[in-house]
Chains A and B, each alone.
Chain A
Amino acid sequence: MDERNFLYMFYGFLAAWLILALYLVALVGRERRLQREMDNLRRMIEEKHREAS
């Protein structure tokens, strides 16, 4: 019983940190995607400006 009790405590800590870590990873992933999209759009707008001039 004690071993199971300790094991579930470990699972509890692991689960909580895993959820927060996964959210942090998702945030960083979204940040990179936004930056990439912005860079692409800026490049596209610059190219269109160059073509127009």
Chain B
Amino acid sequence: MREKTLIVLCIVAAILLAHNLYVILLVLPDEVAQGPIFRIIFLHVPAAWTAFLGFLAAAVASALYLVRKDLRYDAFAVAVTEVGLAFAAANLVTGMIWARIIWGIWWTWDARLTSMLVCWLLYAGYLMLRHAVEEPTQRARIAAVFSIFASVDVPIVFFSIRWWRTQHPQPVVWGGGSMDPAYWNMLFLNWVPLLLLGMVMVVIRLRQERRQRELEALRRMAHAL
């Protein structure tokens, strides 16, 4: 993707974020039971959606790598995983801050929180595993298998609040929870700039993977001389 397209995407994301931040902080009313802290939902939930999208895309790219043995799929898998991990970290931290006010505790080992933490640790492990293997095709194969294995945790995180009794509330999307339409719209509207930002990050990370391969080829050439 060309540099100009990336800059345009960044500008569009920044404008949307500024607009959304204005609406979230100054236009939308406080939630009756929770007060201002409820506004964290507009980052907490879209961050989780972005992370899950990244992890599932990584699983698809990993499966495609195993079938077609094309290293471009491996590059895509690592790019979306790394970006997904950043969004998952944002989701976990905002959740903890929200919990401190609403539940009076930073953390509890309930099914949703624990499965999300396990998910984060699995994908952090995926990135560490890649550093441990030198040979590119072997690294791509092992990482692909691990990514597919780790993706099993994504539906567990998603459905954990339906399958088990948790401290975490019921889902507001396709679940037992409900929300004012104005909140609903903002939840999806704020996902758009986060997705754009995620896309920009993935493109930059993909470019780095390509450069890394070029660098390895140059190193081999330098050794041969």
A36 and B120 CA atoms in complex are apart in Å by 32
Which 6 pairs from chain A and chain B are nearest by CB?
A23-B86, A12-B40, A12-B97, A16-B90, A41-B218, A5-B35
Chain A residues near B (Cβ < 8 Å): 2, 4-6, 8-9, 11-13, 15-16, 19-20, 23-24, 27-28, 30-31, 34-35, 37-38, 41-42, 44-45, 48-49, 52
Interface string of B50-85 (1 = CB under 8 A from A): 000000000000000000000000000000000100
Chain B residues near A (Cβ < 8 Å): 34-37, 39-40, 43-44, 47, 83, 86-87, 89-90, 93-94, 97-98, 100-101, 197, 201, 204-205, 207-208, 211-212, 214-215, 218-219, 221-222, 225
A16 touches B225 (CB 8 A): no
In the bound complex, residues from chain A placing their C-beta under 8 Å from that of B218 are: 38, 41-42, 45
26 A-B residue pairings within 8 Å (CB atoms)? A5-B101, A6-B35, A6-B36, A6-B37, A8-B100, A9-B36, A11-B97, A12-B94, A15-B93, A16-B44, A16-B94, A19-B86, A20-B90, A20-B197, A23-B83, A23-B86, A23-B201, A27-B205, A31-B211, A34-B208, A37-B215, A38-B211, A41-B218, A45-B222, A45-B225, A49-B225
